Amino acid sequence: MGEPSVEIIFKEAGITAAKRGTRGVVALILKDTMPANYSNPIKMDTIDEIPEALSDFNKEQIKLAMIGYQNPPKQVIAYIEAPDAANYSEAQNYLETIKWDYVVVPSIGQTADGKADTDANITSRATDFATWIKQLRSAKDIRVKAVLPHCPADSEGVINFATDDIKTAARTYTAAEYCSRIAGMLAGTSLNISATYAPLAEVLDVPHLKKEERDAAIDAGKLILINDGKKVKIDRAVNSFVTTIENKGEDFKKIKIVDIMDLIHDDIKSTAEDNYIGKYPNDYDHKCLLIAAINGYFEGLELEGLLDSSIEGQNRAEIDLDAQKAYLKSQGIDISTMKDQEIKESNTGSQVFVKGQVVILDAIEDIKFQIYI
């Protein structure tokens, strides 16, 4: 049998990716009094585990998050902040240290006394929270996402939920009050599909928008609910990212695509940390071992229908030759007469320079056909 190898672990991660991606973790930051015999964070897998002592509003928010879509979320984590907390820093500091996928702050739409706040104040608080999400993704390499009301963050890590006046049989919700439901839906959406046109069976009606209004909202990075005349459903499942740049194009606007990107990032990072870093000498042969393992992982994602396998070899990792050259130059090494293979085999200290490219499969969202008679 032998010891576990990096390659086997990576392949197993790839083969189970779609299954693992069907159920994410939703974190809720709730303002409330901590129930007796509980401490932060409160982790709940089912409705029966919701503490009865929480406020009715917060219990409802947890229940909304647990509904999900194809599946319920894997878990809902509630971090309880004091009712008079001036901000969410205590919860934010803790959430940086644990694993979760989507976060919601239901009270972000309320004043200190629990009443509905102005749109300007809601957007201001949501924007501040979105800045934290951006910093986690860019500066701290923590790939998480937030569902926030009326928050044009222009970030793939922020879903700008922008539908108010959401009518159910029990009550009417604002966007801020329904973000928990949306986060649960996204966390319960399989990576093989998207949340586009996902129905919300409990919703009776939402504001009716003309096609040009819906298109404008989507182009502005808003996630909205629509009524198609028969049911209420999510329109195109987009995040708030709108300003495309080189190497960050239209695909980054799709929630499904970003979820798969984040899964790949986290799988490679965690598996390399647990099974490669510090456990092998950093020579060329062992760099090739890591690359072969990552490519095996990509093959698993192809089999799971998450990566496009139509062109052989398009999903691959390899030594980053440009980065390797830059490193050698920084060490005072003359590479002017070195061949590419010599550069690849050169000693890079503790550094490993690997690059990869993948083609992620989108879901069917746009169908065009002609009928000739």
pLDDT of residue 21: 60
Going by pLDDT thresholds of 50, 70 and 90, the confidence category of residue 277 is: confident
Going by pLDDT thresholds of 50, 70 and 90, the confidence category of residue 247 is: confident
Which residue has 């539908």 as its token pair? 163
Q: Which amino acid is at 6?
A: V
Across the range 239-258, mean pLDDT stands at 93
DSSP assignment of 323-369: HHHHHHHHTT---TT--HHHHHHS--TT---EEEE--BPPPP-----
Task: Please check whether residue 199 is in contact with residue 233, taking contact to mean a CB–CB distance below 8 angstroms.
Answer: yes
CATH says 23-189+196-236 is which class? alpha beta
Residue 154 scores a pLDDT above 90: yes
25: left (phi over 0), alpha (psi -120 to 50) or beta: beta
- Summarised one tens digit per residue, pLDDT across range 85-122 is 989 999 999 999 999 999 999 999 988 888 888 889 99
- Summarised one tens digit per residue, pLDDT across range 293-324 is 899 999 999 988 999 999 888 899 999 999 99
Of 60-69, 179-188, 278-287, where does mean pLDDT reach its minimum? 278-287
- Summarised one tens digit per residue, pLDDT across range 228-237 is 999 999 999 9
Q: Count the Cβ atoms, other than its own, within 10 Å of residue 31.
A: 22
Task: Please check whether residue 237 is in contact with residue 258, taking contact to mean a CB–CB distance below 8 angstroms.
Answer: no
Q: How far apart are the first and last CA of the chain?
A: 64
pLDDT of residue 116: 82
pLDDT of residue 311: 87
Higher pLDDT, 290 or 41: 41
pLDDT of residue 117: 85
Residue 371 scores a pLDDT above 60: no
Residue 276 scores a pLDDT above 90: no
pLDDT of residue 11: 67
Across the range 138-151, mean pLDDT stands at 96
Distance from C-alpha of 138 to C-alpha of 159, rounded to nearest angstrom: 17
Distance from C-alpha of 13 to C-alpha of 314, rounded to nearest angstrom: 19
User: 171, exposed or middle or buried, with CB in 10 Å at 0-12, 13-18, 19+?
Assistant: exposed
pLDDT of residue 349: 92
Look up the pTM and report it.
0.91
Q: What is the mean pLDDT of the chain?
A: 91
Of 38-52, 142-156, 212-226, 275-289, where does mean pLDDT reach its minimum? 275-289
Across the range 67-78, mean pLDDT stands at 96
Of 21-25, 181-185, 273-277, where does mean pLDDT reach its minimum? 21-25
Across the range 30-48, mean pLDDT stands at 96
Count of residues making up the chain: 373
- Summarised one tens digit per residue, pLDDT across range 158-178 is 999 999 999 999 999 999 999
Where do the domains of the chain lie?
23-189+196-236
Q: Which amino acid is at 146?
A: A
Burial 285-303 (b: 16+ CB within 10 A, else e): eebebbbebbbbbbbbbbe
Across the range 186-191, mean pLDDT stands at 94
pLDDT of residue 365: 58
